[in-house]
Structures are given as C-alpha cells and as structure tokens.
Structure 1
Amino acid sequence: MELMKRTAVINVVGLTESLLGPTTPHINRFVSKGARANIVPPFPAVTCTSQSTYLTGLPPSQHGIVANGWYNHEQAEVQFWKQSNHLVHGRKIWEELRELEPGFTCAKLFWWYNMYSTADYSITPRPMYPADGRKVFDIYSWPFSIRPDIKKDLGEFPFPTFWGPGAGVQTPQGAPDACSRWIAESAKWIETKYSPTLSLVYLPHLDYNLQRLGPKHPGITEDLRRIDSIVGDLIQFFEQRSVRVILLSEYGITPVDTPIHINRILRENNWLAVKEELGLELLDAGASRAFAVADHQAVHIYLNDPSIENKVRAVIEKVPGVADVLDRKQQEARRINHPRSGDLIAVSHENAWFTYYYWFDDNKAPDFARCVDIHRKPGYDPVELFLDPKIPAVKLKIALKLLKKKLGFRMLMDVIPLDATLVKGSHGCRPSNPADYPIFITSQPELLANGQMNPTDVYHQIKRHVLH
C-alpha cells in the first residue's frame, strides 16, 4: 500500500479555461503550482457519458452510456437518470487499482451510477417514495451506516438545491451553493473517517446558472467566486493530509438561443404517436414509428419502422439549428455505436439544443411537464431550473403546496414553465473554442504529458496519479 499515492479527484462541473480569471484565485493558484490540460469532450458531452468514459477508460460504444437516458426496447420505455452501476459496462478504475493492491479503497461521492457499484464508500441523491404518493428527499449510501451517521454530523442533504428552481439561487433551504458545500463537507467527513486511497468528489454548483443564465451573464462571476471558495478549501484540506488533488470537469457550457422541438417535427410528419390520458397527452414510444430522446445538444432518434429512416433523416437535416445527423455507420466514427443508441443521432449547432416537447397545445401537456420530474420525462429538461413567471405570487403558491404536503395531502408542484427560450446555456456537442472544453488540472505537473487529452485518457491519468 505504501506504493500507492492517495488521490482526490474533484469534479467541478462546467469548469473551463474560459471561466478562469480574477474570480477564481484559489483555482488559479492551484494551476500555477501544477499543470493544466483541456479534455477533448466525449460525445455526447453530458454527465453520465462523460463520467462513465473517465471511470472506465472506454468510449460509449463499449461502456454503453450513450446519454443520460435512452430507450429501453424491451420495456418500450424511455428511461432517464437510472442509478445502478450495473448499467456501466467495463472495468472501473477502482476495480483495476484494487487488483493491483488489495488494500486500495475508493470513495465515490455524488458521481452518477453510484448505487451497487464496487466502490468501498459511496453517497448519492436518492429520494424515498412512500406508498401514499409522497416524495421524501434523502440520500443513499454504502455502507448503509454512513447515511444516518453523516446526516447526524452534517444535517440533511439540501436536496432542493441539488436540482430544480432552487438550485444555484438563495432559498429558504439554503445558500445558492448549499448542495456543493454539503458534498465538500461529506468528502472531508469520509476522508477523516476512512482515508480512502481514491476519493471521487462531484461539485455541481456551476452547472445551474451556466444553463439558466448562460456563461456570458455577469451573474456568473458570483457563482465562480462561490465554487472557487469551496474548491480552495477542499484542496487545502486534502493537501494538509498529503492527498494528491486533481481538478477536472465533464463538459463546457456555451451560450444558446435556439431550442429545437424535434419531437413536434416528428409528430407533424405523423411518425410520433401520442395517447390521451385524463385529457392530457403522453408520448407512446412503443407505438411511434419514430420518436426522439432529447439530451442537451444531442438527440437519439429511435425508429420502430426502419423503412422511414431516409425520410426522417432528410427532414431532420433541414431543421434550423441541426448541425449533423449520424446513422449507425457514422456513429462508429464517433465511438457511440451501441445497441442503446438511436438509429439516428442528431447533433445541434453550438448555439442550439433539443427539447423533449411533443405536444402542440400547452393545455394538453402532461402534468409532469410543469414539475421537476427527471425520471418521468422522456428527455432532459433544463427548464426545470426556472419558476413559471406567469404564475402570480409563485413562491406563495409553493409555500401553500408544501403546507398541504406537510399535512399529509397529495399535491402537484406544477410551477415549472413550458418556455424553452428561458434556457441560455447548454452542452453536448464539441465547442468550437478549445477554451470551452472540459479541463484537467493536476498538482503533479510531471505526470501530465501535454496540454490536451482524449476523454479516455482521464482514466489513465488518474491511475498514474495513484501509482506514481
């Protein structure tokens, strides 16, 4: 075990070279003492794909995480943000390092696919869903004993600040950076209690306003100050305990102004099927000839009728904002050819992104469309970061709904708008400027070969930091 160097990998979501400056003095100081490289973004550059690529050293064509969610052919359902690590194929970095040294241990803190992994210690967001229809915010941990012990010391995880309209803004539940601060404190707690050889720490604070406001908005400077303070404190903590530190990110977020409602286009051509339930419309993926699973700037298009592939492609290629459409053969070059992938994958221009919207009339939108509901929606929805500006006294409405929930009544937290133009930042395609690529910063400059690396190289870089 003496041969292994204890290492912490801090994933600062959305951090790029273009964001470093006067508002990031702690990160700048860390760069000046070490070395920095840009990571060529994986495709698509989204959370689950990026993290799985980093932790397996494999492309999506091999590890199988082609997006944050995809269509399950056998169940005829779109499934998003699943949490079982069994979905990620290939050997994980902690498994290889454990083979090299049986005493090796790994802590995986809020990185995705954290449930039922072979990591020694883990914490991940996981609500509870009692039979009465409530949703109770909580976390899942391994070992189970971590959950009650860490909540006793740190308090409840501030779940409303992890995603939704309360993420990245001041709320009664906490400061704008409350969830990232809790996660950082959990990393200290785990380090103090268990001293793992490798700690994987996820800090999401930048992700919220970079999507909500866009990276050019002046308000981002405050977000940079906040994350820099958290990161600086965590670096100091780990270095005082002789733990090497790597800072990295999963993707860079670029300004957007063009939402693409690709499912509406498929519906206009009579390829997408919708069923009406309780007066509202639900996408019927299994009955559709073609439908799209949207995820930021990439969208998987699934064809239950292969005969229409050329027609679908011809239509999508003409849509303003679409940069490319990849068939199965072309997906091989992007290393995303996998049974979970769409028959076609459309990629947007840097200033555009894809919505999951399929209804024409907002009065027919499903009830979950106006809620934070990451699992039921057949696609990623960044509009969940907003409160509907059309609702009078919306915060009072939320307070009344929460009171109703506390009294044991069922309620629908339908406060999310249906206006995709509110979103000002996105990711998924490869930015034109390398300064907007994800970043890799190390405290060990001698271990970094050059100023740019492929996403699969991150695995090997982490391995080198532990072994050399």
Structure 2
Amino acid sequence: MPRKVVLLNVVGLTPELVAHAPRIAQLGTPRPLRSPLPAVTCTSQATLLTGLPPSEHGVVGNGWYFRDTGEIRFWQQSNALIQGETLYSAIAPAKTAKMFWWFNQGAPVQWSATPKPHYGSDGSKQFGILDQTDCRLVEQLGEFPFHAFWGPFAGLASSDWIARASAAVIRQQQPDLTLVYLPHLDYDYQRFPQRDPQRVAEVDRCAGEVIDAADAVGAKVVVVSEYGLVPVSRPVLINRLLRQQGWLSVRDGPFGEMLMPMDSQAFAVADHQLAHVYVRDPSLRAAVRRTLEAAEGIAAVVDPHDIGLGHARSGELIALADPEAWFAYYYWLDDARAPDFARCVDIHRKPGYDPCELFITSKLRAAARLAQKKLGMRYRMDVIPLDPSLVRGSHGLHPDPQSGPVIVGDDAPEDMQDVKSYVQGLMA
C-alpha cells in the first residue's frame, strides 16, 4: 500500500529557526532548500507542486500584468494558472487534501479548504471559507478567524485554526497526500526587525497538531518553507521613479489617482524584493534600465531569462533590490491623491504587494468603521498607513542559506524543483 504523506508548509521557517521548533526538529535534520526567483508564496508553491522553474510553470510572482486584459492582478486562486503537471495530478488516483495552499480553486483534489469571502452587489463583503472537505469545519471549529489571516490583526489564531482543521481532515478522510499551509511567521517577521523565537515556538505547536494527526493515520510528515524573511530598512518606490521620468500614466478622479498600465510606457509590478518592469516601447528599454540601475536600493536590473523568469508573463526587465531594501508599489506623488484603496486591506486591487497592510493607523478608527458596518451603513476600512518605512522584513531573493527556506525530512533534496519527485518517491 502506498505511504501517506503530509507536506507541511511552514511559511518563513529557516534552517537556523528550526532550533526553536522542537516538534518539527524531531522529523529530521533541517536542510537549506534553494528556491526560485522570486522567492515568494505563489512562485515557490508552483515550483513545489510542479518541479519546474517559473520560466516553465508561468507563476512569475504573487501577481503580474495580464497584457491581454490590461490588468495587474495579485493573489489569483485558479489552479489553471499553473502551467505543468502538479503533484496531485501526478499521484492520481491517490487522493489529496489541499488545506489553504494557493491555487486551490479548480484543483483536481478530493478535499480542500481555502479563504473565500462573499461579495454583495452593494460592495459589501462577508468573510468565509470555501470548505470542500466534507468535514463541516466551521461547525467543528467555529468561524475561520479571517482577521488573523491577513491585515493589521494577523496572528496566531489563523494558523491555529488551519492546523486544527487540517488535523480533522487527516483523521477523518485519511488522504494519501495532505498539503497544509501555516503562515504565522509571515506577520511579525515583516512588522519587526527582530526574529522573535517565540513566534517559531507558537507555529511549532500548530505543526504539532498536524504531526499528531499524521502519526494517528500512519502518514509521514515533511516540512518545507517558501522563503526566509530578512531584515530590511529601505523601501524603494520604483513606480515613482518611472513616473518622474514621464513613463508611467495615471488617471485622476473622485477616488484618487489610478494607474493606467495600458497607457504607460513603463511601470513596475512590485513584489517584495523583486519587481517586474513592463516596458511597452522596446526603444525605451535601455533608458529605463539605466534609470533604475542608478537608483538607490536597486542592486541590479536584469533580463528575465538570466534568472529563470523567461516567460511571457514576466516584465521586459527585472529589478532586484539590495539585501536590506524592498519595493513598494506606490505610484502617486502626493499622498492626498493616493487611490482610496491604498489605505485599506485590498490585496486584489493594489497593483503590487503591500506589507503596510500589516499595520494600522488607529484602532479607534477601525472600531468606528466596524460600528458603521454593523449598522448596515456604507463604510471604508481606511486604516492602513501610507508609510513604507514601517516595514522591517521582506523576502524574494537568495539570502544566506541558513536564512532562506528549509526542508525537514529523511534524505531530503536541496532544490525546490526536486520536492515533487521526492514526495512521489516517499509515496511509492
């Protein structure tokens, strides 16, 4: 009979941090795991699932510019965005449970759970998850703590809920393969410069819930991470540089300035420490490159083919930040003209990743906005600061191996592209 495997993704865990995670450390010797560029959630997960580089699986970041629709879109959940055979397709008819991993919607798995709010026609939103586990998770565990999954109040409660939900699915459904995502280290390690080992101990306890369930059904647990977070002190406002050169276009209006990608000669999709730079006119490419190479905080501007990102979705150029820097998406020159969504947690409308969503301008203001919501009034949860200097941790490049992603498992591989075949071998 094939062996059951749990692939436990502990976001932000590194070889040096495993020393503070005794349950995880018991699984084997931690080894550095080489990630693709960018070392970000969606790209790393696509590589783990396919064994392919981004140039082949096409997930070139957490978001990118869709040239056919003229939209910048982040955090898309469609499994169809992955180009290449996924692990759960390769092991069929073996059964998979996919718990909060990305690219969940439309994935050919037997059981899954993923965040999925409800959106009303009046613009209102109600939090919820898409539970396709046949385990009635909300009835068992209570409502998923969406406020703790992302935003100013993100913290342990979400990873604890996911761990308990995953344990329930493992025990009740006994999948052949279970994919579990625990994001806890992603929050404070971006908020603060110190890497508090207490956060590792907390996520280790969550991992213990999953490990105990795996032991109960005879499943082997392998722990991986997508990246390691490194201290940063300098935001690079790359789109403002491009706008000041006259290459980036905006439309001003009642809700602030909106980026106009199809009208821009050059703009950047900022994603942590890497940015895709889209240059419409090939004759401008050299000038754009020179401008960015001269900017403080940018270590290099390269051709995407040179770093494994040679795909149609990539920008014409790739900007790489200095080790202590990261790219902020801001394109407006005056905060008074910032788009209304800039001060909100709005991961799908922002044309770039925004870690400032982990901070809050005023808890009192947030409470007032919640009161408006409960009264059925129109409201905007505009409590996010426009201050990228607050961010103290980032990722996306290849740091020192002890500070990068990790794998914990017997005879584990050293490259993320080999994890798919490694797991298949364990299940054989």
Match of 2:23 in 1: 26
Secondary structure (helix, strand or coil) at the match of 1:336 reads coil
Give yes or no for contact 2:174–2:217 (8 Å, CA) kept in 1. Answer: no
Specify which of 126, 133, 142 is matched with residue 116 of structure 2: 126
Match of 2:152 in 1: 165
Specify which of 392, 395, 402 is matched with residue 363 of structure 2: 395
Match of 1:208 in 2: 187
Rounded to whole Å, the distance in 1 between the matches of 2:266 and 2:34 is 32
- Per-residue deviation, 1:279: 5.9
Give yes or no for contact 2:277–2:315 (8 Å, CA) kept in 1. Answer: yes
Structure 2: give runs of 5+ residues left out of the alignment.
Answer: none
Give the counterpart letter for 1:190 in structure 2: V
Moved over 2 A (4+): 23-30
Give yes or no for contact 1:9–1:245 (8 Å, CA) kept in 2. Answer: yes
Secondary structure (helix, strand or coil) at the match of 2:416 reads coil
Rounded to whole Å, the distance in 1 between the matches of 2:394 and 2:228 is 8
Rounded to whole Å, the distance in 1 between the matches of 2:52 and 2:329 is 28
Deviates more, 1:274-283 or 1:80-89: 274-283
Give yes or no for contact 2:15–2:30 (8 Å, CA) kept in 1. Answer: no
Rounded to whole Å, the distance in 1 between the matches of 2:414 and 2:299 is 25
Mapping of 1:28-47 within 5 angstroms?
Answer: 28-30=25-27, 34-47=28-41
Mapping of 1:117-266 within 5 angstroms?
Answer: 117-142=107-132, 149-168=136-155, 177-214=156-193, 216-217=194-195, 220-266=196-242
Give yes or no for contact 1:57–1:458 (8 Å, CA) kept in 2. Answer: yes
CA offsets, 1:67-124, max 9 Å, x none? Answer: 00000111111011111100111111111111xxx3x100010000100111111111
Secondary structure (helix, strand or coil) at the match of 2:16 reads helix
Give yes or no for contact 1:71–1:77 (8 Å, CA) kept in 2. Answer: yes
- Per-residue deviation, 1:332: 2.2
- Per-residue deviation, 1:342: 0.2
Match of 1:348 in 2: 321
Give the counterpart letter for 1:79 in structure 2: R
- Per-residue deviation, 1:232: 2.3
Identity of aligned residues (%): 46
Rounded to whole Å, the distance in 2 between the matches of 1:191 and 1:28 is 21
Number of residue pairs matched by the alignment: 428
Rounded to whole Å, the distance in 1 between the matches of 2:110 and 2:25 is 32
Give yes or no for contact 1:5–1:243 (8 Å, CA) kept in 2. Answer: yes
Match of 1:172 in 2: none
Give the counterpart letter for 1:440 in structure 2: I
Specify which of 403, 413, 419 is matched with residue 387 of structure 2: 419
Rounded to whole Å, the distance in 2 between the matches of 1:142 and 1:29 is 31
Match of 1:455 in 2: 416
Rounded to whole Å, the distance in 2 between the matches of 1:29 and 1:58 is 29
Give yes or no for contact 2:33–2:406 (8 Å, CA) kept in 1. Answer: yes
Rounded to whole Å, the distance in 1 between the matches of 2:307 and 2:424 is 25
CA offsets, 1:125-167, max 9 Å, x none? Answer: 1111111211111111336x55xx2111111110010000010
Rounded to whole Å, the distance in 1 between the matches of 2:305 and 2:122 is 46
Rounded to whole Å, the distance in 1 between the matches of 2:131 and 2:78 is 13
Match of 2:13 in 1: 15
Secondary structure (helix, strand or coil) at the match of 1:70 reads strand
Give yes or no for contact 2:289–2:301 (8 Å, CA) kept in 1. Answer: yes
> Normalization by structure 2: what TM-score?
0.97
Mapping of 1:323-338 within 5 angstroms?
Answer: 323-327=299-303, 331-338=304-311
Match of 1:90 in 2: 84
Match of 1:280 in 2: 256
Rounded to whole Å, the distance in 2 between the matches of 1:410 and 1:192 is 43
Rounded to whole Å, the distance in 2 between the matches of 1:379 and 1:415 is 18
Rounded to whole Å, the distance in 2 between the matches of 1:377 and 1:430 is 26
Match of 2:397 in 1: 429
Match of 2:70 in 1: 76
Deviates more, 1:266-275 or 1:220-229: 220-229
Give yes or no for contact 2:37–2:309 (8 Å, CA) kept in 1. Answer: yes
Rounded to whole Å, the distance in 1 between the matches of 2:54 and 2:402 is 24
Match of 1:174 in 2: none
Structure 1: give runs of 5+ residues left out of the alignment.
Answer: 169-176, 389-393
Rounded to whole Å, the distance in 2 between the matches of 1:368 and 1:40 is 35
Rounded to whole Å, the distance in 1 between the matches of 2:66 and 2:209 is 42
CA offsets, 1:349-371, max 9 Å, x none? Answer: 11110000011111110110000
Rounded to whole Å, the distance in 1 between the matches of 2:368 and 2:246 is 42
Rounded to whole Å, the distance in 2 between the matches of 1:52 and 1:76 is 24
Secondary structure (helix, strand or coil) at the match of 2:239 reads helix
- Per-residue deviation, 1:306: 1.8
Rounded to whole Å, the distance in 2 between the matches of 1:364 and 1:278 is 10
- Per-residue deviation, 1:36: 2.7
Match of 2:48 in 1: 54
Secondary structure (helix, strand or coil) at the match of 1:196 reads coil
Specify which of 74, 98, 103 is matched with residue 108 of structure 1: 98
Secondary structure (helix, strand or coil) at the match of 1:140 reads strand
Deviates more, 1:401-410 or 1:79-88: 401-410
Secondary structure (helix, strand or coil) at the match of 1:410 reads coil
Secondary structure (helix, strand or coil) at the match of 1:363 reads helix
* Matching of residue 318 in structure 1 with residue 294 in structure 2: yes
Give yes or no for contact 2:60–2:309 (8 Å, CA) kept in 1. Answer: yes
Rounded to whole Å, the distance in 2 between the matches of 1:52 and 1:366 is 31
Give yes or no for contact 1:25–1:228 (8 Å, CA) kept in 2. Answer: yes
